[in-house]
Amino acid sequence: MKFVSALLLGFLLCLPSVRCATEEEFPLVAAQECRPRGGWPNFLAKAGTPGAEVRIAYFGGSITAQEGWRPKTLAYFQKTFPQAKFIAINAAIGGTGSDLGVCRVQQDVLDRKPDLVLVEFAVNDGGATPAQIFRCMEGIVRQTWRAFPECDMGFVYTLTESLAPAMLDGKFQRSASAMERIADHYGIPTIHLAMEVVRLARAGRLIWKSPLPKTDAEKQALGDKFVFAPDAVHPHPETGHELYLQAVVRSLDPIRAASHAPGRHALPAPHTADNYEKARLVPITAAHLSSGFALPDLKTDAFAKRWANRLPVLGRATQAGERVTFKFKGTRCAIYDVIGPDSGQVRVTLDDRPPEVRPRFDSYCTYHRLSAFLVGTELPDAVHTVMIEVMGEAPDKAKILSQRNQTIDDPKRFEALAFHPGAILLVGEIVE
């Protein structure tokens, strides 16, 4: 499926200094559809103001990118508050979690001046440690409220079949349980969109993975069963996403009841001292690019223009030995790029560590997509030097594609060994 990203391989790692929490070490939170906490007082006040323009940021992964709960809830808010005008900020990128989110929240969300930010990363954070989720989700909250203290927030949880066992046992999945800690600390409402999905599964009425019935005979054969998704992950807009919509509808009244006087959100002391409040996205042009790197013009280059809403600058190098070099002061660094059929691999050198190869081609590279790879994490908060070099050795693309029963359909599409970096993802800052 086209929504999986190499981000999940590069970012969601157990931290060197923190053991991956087991369920015993990190108790799961009891499942509850809505915890309204401090409500959405500013959002609701503005939504009730005639002529107001209300901007809702939908910040998440591929489930939010779908034409599903995002447009459905926007239409619901517009119908519920007809006196205002609602505008969606679509800040969803398939296959990405809060680790990329905390770096791109300024560019993709805050620069568009939201009144409400709905954060949906529980599925794509499914492999992250609780400690990492704390850092990232708290970083998103603190960046948001420093920039817009009157902006309300909500954490929205979705579900896949593989993450369902805890929910079937009456507990949130681990990622959502971790996010609840941050929501509690800051008084942020949370909505688990999949409580009705779980109820149907317990009753034996849910089909996690199936096409929707088309003929009368198929519908009759289905009986009272409910088809959730074509892939057990991304709900059918006609079915699974309708359940997601209704969860938001049911949650609005308790959130309204918890919402008192509008005002600015105060930032308490951090829940996690080393949270990623200082995370940022820096254009790749802040680094030194060797002479063989091209910086295509967004006005004339169709490929670069395609990614301009996420990567306003996009480099391209195809020759072995081309390099990106830079220094930064901070604790974490990654590269935000585009990968696809023409991608190769790079050699990464961080400080005086041995070089490491980072493939920029995987079994999903029959098409181009946004991705990222980790340079270093949990580093000393000091100045670090990074060099990334395009390699001339090709990965075995045919073998890699065969992992998903894919093949090289057109050798010309796959023959290049390109590197398309667009930005540096930092917890820290670039230094000269």
Average pLDDT over residues 207-219: 96
CATH code of 295's domain: 2.60.120.260
Q: Is the same domain home to 144 and 183?
A: yes
Q: Is 58 helix (H, G, I), strand (E, B) or coil?
A: strand
* Same-domain pairing of 160 and 195: yes
What one-character-per-residue DSSP string does 220-287 give? HHHTT-EEEESSSSS--TTTHHHHHHHHHHHHHHHHHHH--S--PPP--S-SSTT-STTEEEEEGGGS
In a domain, 272, yes or no: no
Coil, strand or helix at 103: helix
Same domain, residue pair 138 and 225:
yes
Same domain, 336 and 204: no
Mean pLDDT within 237-255: 98
> Count of CB atoms within 10 A of residue 160's CB?
21
What pLDDT sits at residue 22? 46
Please check the confidence at residue 21 and state whether its pLDDT lies above 50. no
What SS3 class is residue 180?
helix
Q: Domain holding 249: CATH number?
A: 3.40.50.1110
Are residue 116 and residue 75 in the same domain, yes or no? yes
Q: Is the pLDDT of residue 12 over 80?
A: no
Confidence check: pLDDT of 407 > 80: yes
Domain coverage including residue 203 = 7-258
Domain count, the chain: 2
Is residue 10 pLDDT above 50, yes or no?
no
Question: Is 31 found in the same domain as 155?
Answer: yes
What is the model's pTM? 0.91
Q: Is residue 290 part of a domain?
A: yes
Residues 27 and 135 in one domain: yes
The pLDDT of residue 332 is 97
12-16, 157-161, 362-366, 402-406: least confident range? 12-16
With a cut of 50, say whether residue 419 has pLDDT above it: yes
Q: Is residue 269 part of a domain?
A: no
Specify the pLDDT at position 298. Answer: 85
Lowest-confidence region among 63-67, 104-108, 275-279, 295-299: 295-299
Average pLDDT over residues 416-427: 97
Same domain, 86 and 25: yes
Q: Of 225, 258, 291, which residue sits at a domain end?
A: 258
CB-based contacts of 174, cutoff 8 Å, min separation 6: 21, 23, 26, 28, 126, 130, 166
Largest pairwise CA distance in the chain: 68
* Residues 203, 287 within the same domain: no
Q: Are 246 and 353 within one domain? A: no
Report which secondary-structure segment, H or E, holds 63.
Answer: helix 62-65
Q: Are residues 28 and 166 in the same domain?
A: yes
In this structure, the answer to whether residues 232 and 287 fall within a common structural domain is: no
Taking the alpha carbons at both ends of the chain, their separation in whole angstroms is: 41
Flag whether pLDDT at 376 surpasses 60.
yes
Residue type, 82: P
